[in-house]
């Protein structure tokens, strides 16, 4: 019940952080994986293990609509689905048309008759749709396979959600930061799945109990797949450095930002592993940037439109893994083609002095950016925490803005975080693989 209410609320883009944050503090340390902090939620909802189409998808009969060149499949449950001839021919699953070892299409567009007719369609005893094409080529499609690919709006939306897990739980300063055991996510698939799905939905998960040694993040990256190499290396050391090549490598305050918009495709996920913490200062700050964007859209549509349309230059020049001279063009807020929020690109340190806007658009851009920054710094949106050695914060770098308070630094290193990046493609790949593995073993 709770989950379905939550889903409806999310779909209508309404925040329900109170319900969420009151839920996420429920812990159940007795569960086989000690880190399953979300037990009550998963018990109620468990939506990720549902099949988009039930395995029992049974076909009543099939017919052709020759004028439209559609095959119409009538299901036993009373519904029906339409499949264009050309799509069926394109997706023939026979070994001549499809390489099963690679799960990839062999039939090239060159050999596809996009105006194909259809000689015959039958329903087989094994609940399959069997088609004979005008050139005598035969195709067979399983009912379940077809049902998952139904072209109705509802079915497509379900499939897209299954593939991309776009649902988000927005939060403000009342966040109770999701916390799990580092060792559990390394060892237990169920814990790893919950870690990554929470990272997707909430945008941030704190892992506790990691060994306090440099290089440990490599293990965590391997748990998922591989890390994203950048000009700062595979992992990088956030410390106060002489002649810092990055503002993060000082002891100064870092305003809320996303990492690396100077890369045209900024890293999707960031890990920060605390190895040493300053006695005074150095508190971390995070904000749900998507939640802030929705507030901005509501309060000042014009500012939102400017930040989602004008391309702003970013730059990063220096030497680290090797010498680098990066330039990128980013909208401060990047939208999906459907208007959904895709990514925040905002690091004031690397925002270039080169600004490719007509001079009359400069002031409106600054006005919009100021409004966005004021909103992200509003006490209702900011969440502070101070990392302890052995903690690893993992967060969505496309959504979460992060910063830190300044700290006291002396002759010795007083604070040391090790960081690394991953692409969302790699994290989502592991999430799908874990989901399949858990589904198959349940």
Closest distance between a copy of itself and the C-beta of residue 249, in Å?
8
Q: Which of residues 331-350 bind a copy of itself (CB under 8 A)?
A: 337, 348-350
Give the C-alpha separation, 316 to 328, whole Å: 9
Sequence-distant (6+) residues with CB within 8 A of 333 are 293, 304, 307, 308, 341, 343, 344, 345, 372
Residue 163 makes contact with a copy of itself by CB under 8 A: yes
Give the C-alpha separation, 24 to 6, whole Å: 13
Residue 322 makes contact with a copy of itself by CB under 8 A: yes
Q: Which of 8, 60, 156, 298 binds a copy of itself (CB under 8 A)?
A: 156
Question: What's the full length of the chain, in residues?
Answer: 442
Closest distance between a copy of itself and the C-beta of residue 27, in Å?
31
Query: What is the contact mask toward a copy of itself in residues 38 to 57, using x (rule: CB under 8 A)?
Result: --------------------
- In the block, which residue shows the tokens 């083609």? 337
- In the block, which residue shows the tokens 């499939």? 159
What letter does residue 28 receive in the DSSP assignment? -
- Beta pairing class for 80-84 and 98-99: unpaired
Q: Which of 124, 213, 425, 439 binds a copy of itself (CB under 8 A)?
A: 425
Give the C-alpha separation, 333 to 168, whole Å: 17
Task: Assess contact for 395 and 204: CB atoms under 8 A.
Answer: yes
Q: Which of 321, 340, 384, 389 binds a copy of itself (CB under 8 A)?
A: 321
Token readout for 242 is 């002489």
Stretch that binds a copy of itself, among 285-293, 297-305, 363-371, 409-417 (CB under 8 A): 363-371
Q: Which of residues 168-197 bind a copy of itself (CB under 8 A)?
A: none
Of 78 and 337, nearer to a copy of itself (C-beta) is 337
Q: Which of 26, 120, 301, 436 binds a copy of itself (CB under 8 A)?
A: 436
Q: Which of residues 134-153 bind a copy of itself (CB under 8 A)?
A: 148-149, 151, 153
Q: Which of 4, 28, 311, 439 binds a copy of itself (CB under 8 A)?
A: 311
Of 55 and 108, nearer to a copy of itself (C-beta) is 108
Residue 84 makes contact with a copy of itself by CB under 8 A: yes
Residue 366 makes contact with a copy of itself by CB under 8 A: yes
| DSSP line for 2-29 | HHHHHHHHHHTT---HHHHHHHHT---T
Query: What is the contact mask toward a copy of itself in residues 249 to 278, using x (rule: CB under 8 A)?
Result: xx-x--x-------xxx-------------
Give the C-alpha separation, 406 to 282, whole Å: 5
Of 44 and 329, nearer to a copy of itself (C-beta) is 329
Token readout for 227 is 């890390």
Token readout for 226 is 């591989």
Stretch that binds a copy of itself, among 19-27, 31-39, 210-218, 325-333 (CB under 8 A): 325-333
Axis-axis angle for helices 301-309, 362-376 (nearest 10): 110
Element at 431 (helix H, strand E): helix 424-441
Q: Which of 23, 48, 186, 373 binds a copy of itself (CB under 8 A)?
A: 373
Q: Which of 75, 133, 182, 231 binds a copy of itself (CB under 8 A)?
A: 231
- In the block, which residue shows the tokens 């992200």? 376
Q: Which of 76, 354, 380, 439 binds a copy of itself (CB under 8 A)?
A: 354
Residue 109 makes contact with a copy of itself by CB under 8 A: yes
Residue 65 makes contact with a copy of itself by CB under 8 A: no
Residue 69 makes contact with a copy of itself by CB under 8 A: yes
Token readout for 253 is 């305050």
Task: Assess contact for 246 and 232: CB atoms under 8 A.
Answer: yes
Q: DSSP 3-state assignment of 384?
A: strand
Q: Which of 4, 26, 160, 301 binds a copy of itself (CB under 8 A)?
A: 160
Task: Assess contact for 267 and 258: CB atoms under 8 A.
Answer: no
């Amino acid at each position: 019940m709770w989950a379905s209410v939550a889903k409806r609320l999310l779909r209508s883009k309404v925040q329900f952080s109170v319900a969420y944050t009151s839920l996420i503090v429920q812990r159940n340390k007795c569960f086989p994986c000690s880190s399953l902090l979300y037990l009550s939620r998963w018990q109620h909802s468990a939506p990720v293990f549902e099949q988009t189409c039930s395995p029992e998808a049974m076909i009543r009969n099939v017919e052709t609509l020759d004028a439209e060149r559609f095959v119409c499949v009538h299901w036993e449950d009373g519904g029906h689905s339409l499949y264009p001839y050309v799509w069926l021919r394109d997706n023939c699953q026979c070994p001549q048309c499809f390489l099963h070892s690679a799960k990839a299409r062999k039939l090239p567009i060159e050999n596809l008759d996009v105006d194909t007719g259809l000689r015959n369609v039958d329903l087989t005893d094994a609940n399959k749709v069997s088609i004979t094409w005008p050139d005598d080529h035969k195709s067979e499609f399983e009912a379940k396979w077809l049902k998952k690919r139904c072209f109705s709006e509802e079915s497509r939306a379900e499939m897209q959600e299954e593939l991309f897990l776009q649902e988000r739980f927005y939060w403000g300063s009342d966040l109770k930061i999701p916390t799990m055991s580092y060792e559990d996510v390394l060892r237990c698939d169920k814990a790893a799945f919950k870690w990554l799905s929470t990272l997707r939905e909430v945008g941030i998960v704190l892992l506790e109990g990691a060994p306090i040694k440099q290089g440990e993040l490599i293990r965590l990256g391997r748990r998922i797949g591989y890390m994203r190499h950048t000009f700062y290396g595979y992992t990088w050391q956030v410390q106060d450095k002489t002649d810092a090549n990055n503002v993060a490598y000082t002891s100064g305050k870092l305003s809320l930002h996303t990492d690396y918009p100077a890369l045209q495709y900024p890293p999707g996920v960031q890990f920060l592993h605390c190895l040493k913490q300053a006695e005074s200062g150095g508190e971390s700050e995070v904000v749900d940037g998507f939640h802030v964007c929705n507030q901005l859209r509501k309060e000042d549509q014009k500012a939102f439109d400017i930040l989602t349309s004008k391309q702003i230059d970013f730059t990063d020049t220096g030497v680290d893994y090797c010498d680098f001279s990066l330039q990128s063009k980013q909208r401060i807020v990047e939208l999906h083609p459907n208007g959904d929020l895709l990514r925040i690109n905002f690091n004031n340190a690397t925002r270039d002095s080169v600004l490719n806007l007509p001079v009359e658009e400069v002031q409106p851009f600054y006005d919009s950016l100021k409004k966005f920054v004021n909103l992200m710094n509003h006490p209702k949106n900011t969440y502070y925490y101070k990392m302890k050695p052995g903690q690893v914060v993992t967060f969505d770098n496309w959504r979460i803005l992060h910063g830190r308070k300044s700290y006291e630094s002396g002759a010795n290193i007083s604070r040391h975080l090790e960081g690394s990046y991953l692409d969302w493609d790699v994290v989502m790949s592991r999430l799908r693989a874990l989901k399949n593995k858990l589904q198959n073993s349940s």
